[in-house]
Amino acid sequence: MTRPFLRRPEALLGGAILLALILIAGFAPLIAPGDPLAIAGRPLIPPFTDAGLPLGTDRLGRDLLAELIHGARTSVAVGLSAALVAVFAGMTVGTAAGFAGGAIEAALMRIVDAFQIVPGFLLALAFVSVAGPSLWVVVLAIALGAWTGPARLARARVLSLRESDFVAAAKVMGMSPAEIAFRQIMPLALPPVLAVASVIVAAAVLTEAALSFLGLGDPNSVTWGAMIAEGRNQLRSAAYLSIIPGIALVLTVISTYLVGEALTDSLTGRDKR
């Protein structure tokens, strides 16, 4: 799997950007120590005019580079956490539905259908509006709209595996249905779900930015969406306030997509064509 992945220049470029982003997010307190929302200088210093403030300041005099770095931490945390919750929930429901069959499968898949009818962003918007904005509420809100895809993929894979010889052997050995489903079959159903995990991460980053732009993000965390919203009132005089976090957001989503496409091709063998 790694050789086809490493032969794709777009995958290497996306992976390099993502690795840099993860390192920046992980070492944010060391790269930009202190409170990123603290006043660092006079308001609206343009980028590249002050050596101590390379990206300038916002309308309140806060260091834009420090906000950008800590915003990366929020985006990475939300994207990965939402993807993990969505994949775990989807795998659990999809595996249970595919292995149980009958009325249990029908009931679980109707729940999947009900969630899939509602657009993910509207579901997240409603959930955060009711539960209140916080980082973990945002993660759960995004996962609520993202777990249905993994559930359908897991169910389809389990349906093709449940009649296999190793399942029959496990039944003869006296293993319970739950053990067979979640210990024997679920790991084999995981690869196709992991292939779409990158799409969930990218969508989660965008959804979190959109919620923050609307003022529904965690008020105690720096987010790129809030930075873009903060700068929209100065688009004519200081457009960089929105452009810089916007570029960071675009690069993150595109690099995640490129890595995800390469991983999907490697897992499905499409690179062999």
Q: What is the pLDDT of residue 3?
A: 55
Q: What is the pLDDT of residue 270?
A: 53
What is the CATH number for 178? 1.10.3720.10
Examine residue 213 and state whether it is found in any structural domain, yes or no. yes
Q: How many CA atoms does the CB half-sphere of 66 hold within 13 Å?
A: 20
List the one residue out of 196, 200, 180 whose CA is nearest residue 188: 180
Helix, strand, or coil (residue 38): coil
Residue 157: which domain range? 10-23+64-272
- Say how many domains are in the chain: 1
Give the residue ranges of the chain where pLDDT is below 50: 1, 271-273
How far is Cα 264 from Cα 105, in angstroms, rounded to an integer?
27
Examine residue 37 and state whether it is found in any structural domain, yes or no. no
Examine residue 109 and state whether it is found in any structural domain, yes or no. yes
Q: Supply the pTM of this predicted model.
A: 0.87
How far is Cα 177 from Cα 9, in angstroms, rounded to an integer?
45
Q: What is the pLDDT of residue 272?
A: 46
User: Tell me: the pLDDT tens digits for 67-103?
Assistant: 999 999 999 999 999 999 999 999 999 999 999 988 9
Examine residue 218 and state whether it is found in any structural domain, yes or no. yes
User: Tell me: the pLDDT tens digits for 242-273?
Assistant: 999 999 999 999 998 888 887 777 665 554 44
How far is Cα 156 from Cα 161, in angstroms, rounded to an integer?
9
Q: What is the pLDDT of residue 233?
A: 84
Q: What is the pLDDT of residue 268?
A: 59
- Residue % of the chain over a pLDDT of 70: 95
Provide CB contacts within 8 A for 258, sequence distance 6+. Answer: 10, 11, 13, 14
